[in-house]
Amino acid sequence: MLSSLVPNVRTKCRFLASSVTSNSIPPPVSLGAPSILAQRRCLMSTQRPKKPLCNFILFCQERRPEIVDKCPELSFVQVSAQLGDEWKNLPNDRKQMFSAQFRELREKFECQKEEFYEVKKEIQQRRKARARQKRKEEWEQFKKPKKPATSFAFFLSEHFVKGEKPTTAQFVNISELWKNTSEEQKLPYVERASELREKYQMDLEEWKHRMVAEGREDLVTWRKTSTDKKERRTIKGEDNSALDALEKES
């Protein structure tokens, strides 16, 4: 249904645009099927599931037109009161019929709701992924300093054959070897990583102040997600405490 709906709308729009400058009817335009994302956006905007009506409301929908046609002089309140009385005196088999109809609608609603929220979640994940990718590209564009390698990374690079892709088993073996290495033997790797870390911290602080000066505070924003609540802290001016917090998270 969605695949046929979107192309028809696009075709009509093109026809209206062309009819402004030409009196001839343009030939049908084949636009192909819309993307899956376009279909899902259409689904979210037009097919949002609604809660089913209860058994009493279903009964009212059936009986109200009959009462209004038979007694048009009755007000809405009077009709509603009569419907309530009829429902109280309605036989159980008739009530069960409306109850069964309600259960069927409720089961259908639960399935539609589950599908709807799955689609919604996927679209939100796509948006977050695009936002992360955009931020990463901007960091590269504005030359944000990259995190230096750790002491274990230096140790790891010395034990892997250059140009070859390491296997999981090799990685596990080297990790065990690192754990069993003495602190004295680890010291060269730790010192090397510490020097690079200090240089990284200085470069990062300089980069953050430069971004703030250029009006790009959004590039140094710290975002923390916890139980669907997001807190943002933005560096402004010479707030050293905020800078220190950002450096720890970077």
| pLDDT band (50, 70, 90) for residue 14 | very low
pLDDT tens sequence across 35-62 = 555 555 555 555 678 889 999 999 999 9
**Helices and strands (DSSP H and E) totals, the chain:** 9, 2
The residue-averaged pLDDT of 190-197 equals: 90
pLDDT tens sequence across 216-244 = 888 887 554 433 344 333 333 334 443 34
Q: Are 2 and 36 a contacting pair, CB within 8 Å?
A: no
Q: Are 156 and 174 a contacting pair, CB within 8 Å?
A: yes
| pLDDT band (50, 70, 90) for residue 127 | confident
Tokens 């923390």 identify what position? 224
pLDDT at 17: 43
| Residue 138: C-alpha distances to residues 4, 10, 144 (Å) | 38, 34, 9
State the Cα torsion 81-87-90-96 to the nearest 10°: 170
The residue-averaged pLDDT of 128-134 equals: 88
**Taking 70 as the threshold, does the pLDDT of residue 34 lie above it?**
no
pLDDT tens sequence across 55-106 = 999 999 999 999 999 989 999 999 999 999 999 999 999 999 999 999 999 9
Q: Which long-range contacts (CB under 8 A, 24 or more apart) does 127-135 make?
A: 135/219
| pLDDT band (50, 70, 90) for residue 246 | very low
Q: Which of 14-18, 40-44, 67-71, 123-127 has the lowest mean pLDDT?
A: 14-18
Q: Which long-range contacts (CB under 8 A, 24 or more apart) does 81-86 make?
A: 83/59, 86/59
Q: Is 32 left (phi over 0), alpha (psi -120 to 50) or beta?
A: left
Which comes out higher in pLDDT, residue 30 or 37?
37
The residue-averaged pLDDT of 136-155 equals: 87
Cα separation of 238 and 193, whole Å? Answer: 28
Strand 229-233 with 222-226, pairing: antiparallel
pTM score: 0.46
Strand partners, 233: 222
